[in-house]
Every structure is written in C-alpha cells, then in structure tokens.
A and B are shown apart, each in its own frame.
Chain A
C-alpha cells in the first residue's frame, strides 16, 4: 500500500526524523489558512500517489495569499496521470543548499533490506543508478539494523561538513528503524536537504507498506486513500479477489495469479487486448465468481469475458454455479467463453449445459474464441 507524502512524513516525524512543518488542506480556504500560519514563501504540493509530481505541474512555490489561492485552486481537482488531486500539502519553502537521497528497499536477491544513499538527490534514484552508479552507496541491512559506524560512513559519503554529517547519522539510523517497525517495503527521503543554515530535513517522503503486514498495523491500514484507487479494484479487495484494471476489451476471470497472467499474455499473443488481471483465488466460493462478473460488467470497455479455470483446489462445478448465480442476478449482455478443466469438470459441464452454455477444455482454443466473440460484439 502506497502512502501519501503527508502520511509518510507523519511516520518519519514520529520516528524522530526532522521534516518541515506542514498542513494538509482539501479546500482553497483551508490551504490559505494553513499558509497564514506557516508563513510565505510556501509550497503547494499535490497529494497523489504518483512520482514526478513537480514535472506534472502538481508542485508550486507561492509568495502571497493571492498566489496561493490561484495555485491551490488550480491544483485541487486537477488530474495528474489519471488521478484526481483531492488534497494539497502546504509547507514553508526551504532555503536549500544541497540535496541528497536516502532510501531503503527490499533486496530480494539477498533477502534483506538495502539502504541506498546518494549525493545526487532530488532526481529519480533509478535514473542515478543507470547514469552514475558510482554516486550510490549501498549498505545491506541485517538483524542489527544500521550500526552507527556504517551510518557515519554513509554520512561522510554524502557531505564534507562534519557538523552536517552528525545530523545525517541519526536520520539514517531512524529511517532504517522506521522501515523495519512499520513493515515497509520502501521508505525514501528524496530529497534529503541541507539548508543554508546547516539544518538537515526530509523535504519529501515516500513510504510503501507491505500489504501482507497491514493486519498488524491497523493505524496504517486506516491510512488507505480509497479515492486514489479504481472502484473495481476497491470492490475486488473487499470481496477477496485480486484485480488489476487494464485498458483492453477482453475481461478475464481466472483461478491463480500465474495462470491469470499467462491468460492475459495469450489473449495478446492471439491478437486481442486483455481488460484486466483477475484471480478468484484458490477456494471456489460461488460468491467470488459473482463478484468478479459484477466488476467486469461494470467496465464499459469489456466486450466479452473469458473464464479460464484449472480445477485443483478450485472445483469447476463451484465456478459454474457462481457463473449461473451471476447471470441470474446481473444483467449480462456480453458474450462469455468458458474454459474448464480439472476437478469436477464433468459436473460443471452438466450444470452449464442445462443453461445452454458450453465449456471448452483447451486454453488456446478458448482464447481464440473469446477474441472472435469480442470482435463480433464490437
């Protein structure tokens, strides 16, 4: 789960990492009042879950109330890469002398967190890794966390001034601790700035929380911003489905994530475009199948739906029952192609056959059929 900048900064602040003061506003009036309290020049920052907000016009420095009203009015409600801006963060403008990067991610290969620091701050770290990899210091993190001596080495790598180094050391140690304590899969300060007065501040913040750990962090789970998500994806999560919306025309209902991806790929291979990734999971609750159909029929671009079920734990007859339930309860006007094989396949065919529905048993054949049906329906 991705957190907004203002939420990430709350976590950093609580962890003892210096962040600039700031207030969140969802209206121009609130933004204006916040800026009066914080003082000018101030920065208006769109709170949306995308990178590169500045380039997209979502971050502006303002010098007066008039300035702020205009910019906050423009940013609130604007769309940044398809996401509507509902909130802005108002924060005083900092006098920046130098900008650094500090971030921690999971290094899957070494099965451990990896702290990365770079004197090339303010830009995308992946870009730095490509163009000037020597500007990144990588420190693997083990069960000890970040020992102070390694934090000192990282601070020396970033800044020559011993007074500044002394301020950077605890920030890095606390960043590593916050990553661990909050079950983050990414915690990033970019930029970490040194001001003209020698202060060190986390000017921007980004935290991603491990979805599997949200159960033990109810406070973080409550931070989820539903307005930033596709309604279909919200419904899917509530109904225990794994769903990702894409921009094609062929809806897919599949059991298992790997098979669901392979089904999408096969649709593209045979010349179609998948409308989604959808995994109904291992258990074959008919309600889940109905929920899946509800989500797909709510997507106006979907012209035909493919069911691809390989029965193992999932029982084909349960899926068939769920599909009939969905057809009874929902108005389904688009063609459906069904592929079933495995556990209780014969029972499933009988159930579907009674309603005049036919199931194929070969995946390629089913994909070609659904593409043809979608073309007819277009």
Chain B
C-alpha cells in the first residue's frame, strides 16, 4: 500500500526535453514508473527515451490518460506550468523546480486549492512508493517496500533518513519531500492525514526544519487525530536567526520558527524527537514494537497491563 503514487500512476513530464527533465525521465522509467507523456511547447511529435512529447498537457492527457504531472521547467515558467496541469484536470501535480518567487506561489496555490487539486512542492525531490512508482528525483536504490511513511521538507536529508531506515530493515510505504519553500502545496498535516488513512502505513517519520509553523501545526494535528506512531526530527538547531539556510523557507524570523520551539511542541504532544538522524530507525522500531508485543501478550493473558496503559496515553493527548 502507498499514498498519492502507486501502480495506477501515469506520469506526464512537463519540461521533458530539458536537461533535468530528460535525465530524470530516464531515472523514473528505470525505476518502473509509467511515464506516458512529456510536454514541451513547440516540440510536439518528438520522443524522449521513447516517451511521446506533446505541445500541451491537455493534449497529453487526452492521448495518454496521464493522471500525474511532474514539473522540471525553469522557475520563471513554473507558475504557468502548474496552471496548465491543473486546468488539464491532472489531480496530482509535483513541482520539482526551485527558485519560484513567493508571489507566484501565493497566486497559484490559492488557485490549485480552489480547484480541489493537489500540488506537491515546489522546490522538492518528489515522492516514491518503493517498488511501485517514483515521481521526481529521489534515488530509487535507497528505498525499499515496507510500512513506514516518510514526510520531509528536505531532499538529501530525506535520502539519508530513508537509507538509514532501509539499512535497519525498516521499509517504507511512501517517502515524500514536500519542499523547502515558504509556500508549498502539500504540508505535513496533509501527509499525516493521508498516512493515517493508508492501511499500508504503520508508523510515520516527520523531518522538519527551521522556519514557519508547519511542524507546530502538525504537532497539534497528531495530538488530535493521528493514532499511528510518529517520530520527528528537526534540522537547524545551530542555525543563526535572520539567516536563510539554503531553503527559501528555512529562516528563523522574529524569534519564531526555531528548531527548539518545534521540538518542544512535538515533545509536548508525546511524540519522540530524534536528537540525530541515526536515532530515527531505533525510535521507529521501538514505536512499532509495543503493538506487536501487545498481541503476543493478549495471547498470554497479559493484555490488561498494556492495553490500559495505551488507552490512558491516548486520553492524555
């Protein structure tokens, strides 16, 4: 099981003839993703890695039934590319492009939400449902199928964590990088709700960073509505205030958005916070363990102790 992308995903690549678009189309095809079409205005009729290229997303959808778009166009053209994908009826739009002006995102994000579409990114690595489908630029080799859902604002830090999970024998249902910009289409809270509903996901890793209040909102949601165990990690404890740390959204401003504050919110919500990335697999393994043990204990007639303990923890939330 997986969320957002899986076996039924049919991808159209916007900007397929560009350097990045072409390179990552190869990567997606090699992973087994069904890349059914590419779009570059003026290059309709060409082929990239045997994938047909169309002049518009509308035409690509009509001819191939694409239901997911991935965008690799330059930042200045990204807003229009998102509009085009949404207007063509694509329900899931993944925007990899980095450097989109905030004003463009304010406008397009409101539009996408108004149309009931879903945007992932921008400035993100995309997502992967191991063994089924990858959309974006994540290296497929680091992930393996399993039951952990991973959601992160980062790229390579996500790879680091996914790889450590894989090495520890903890496979993933879906891994997603939601993007490092101040405005992103899909936030932590959206992904937590999707993982909560997904029967193939049993635990969730949330990798946040400084800036904004998405992590704080996620902590509130987890306390209220997420029953699956969550383990958090926040990057940027050593980041100085007022300085942008690479990602456009990673900035501590006016004393808010600090790593310390975000970690405190998670701890208050009863969510284990890893001090280092290498602690994450251990915490996930521990979070998954009691559930399995309680089943065993039930058989041994010791359910009394573990079940009320868990219930009282829930009430405490």
Contact = CB atoms under 8 A, between A and B. Distances in A.
Contacts of A310: 156, 159-160, 163
A258 interface: yes
Contacts of A312: 125, 137-139, 142, 155-156, 159
Given A108-B213, A269-B276, A343-B139, A180 B159 contact: no
A354 interface: no
A126 B182 contact: no
Contact of A342 (B102, B159, B182, B235): B159
Contact of A183 (B103, B238, B247): B103
Interface of chain A, main secondary structure: mixed
Contact of A109 (B156, B159, B213, B240): B213
A111 B247 contact: no
Contacts of A282: 137, 155
A277 B246 contact: yes
A258 B156 contact: yes
A249 interface: no
Given A211-B248, A274-B238, A257 B99 contact: no
Contacts, number: 159
Interface string A303-319: 00000001111100000
A264 B213 contact: no
Given A258-B247, A310-B159, A342-B159, A277 B183 contact: no
A279 interface: yes
B210 interface: yes
A108 B249 contact: yes
Contacts of A274: 238
Contacts of B278: 362-364
Contact-residue size bin, chain B (C-beta under 8 Å from the other chain): 35 or more
B277 interface: yes
B254 interface: yes
B215 to A, nearest CB: 12
A363 B160 contact: yes
Interface in A234-262: 242, 244, 246, 254-262
Interface in B165-199: 180, 182-183
A331 to B, nearest CB: 28
Interface residues of A, number: 51
A222 interface: no
B245 A277 contact: yes
A126 B250 contact: no
Contacts of A314: 156
A212 B238 contact: no
B107 A143 contact: yes
Given A260-B246, A262-B277, A268-B237, A126 B255 contact: yes
Contacts of B209: 257-258, 261
A271 B217 CA distance: 32
A259 B160 contact: yes
Given A212-B99, A312-B139, A261 B156 contact: no
Interface of B: 75-76, 99-103, 105-107, 109-110, 125, 137-139, 142, 152-160, 163, 180, 182-183, 207, 209-210, 212-214, 217, 233, 235-240, 243-250, 254-255, 259, 275-278
Interface of A: 106, 108-109, 111-113, 126, 142-143, 180, 183, 185, 210-213, 215-216, 242, 244, 246, 254-262, 264-269, 274, 277, 279, 282, 310-314, 341-343, 362-364
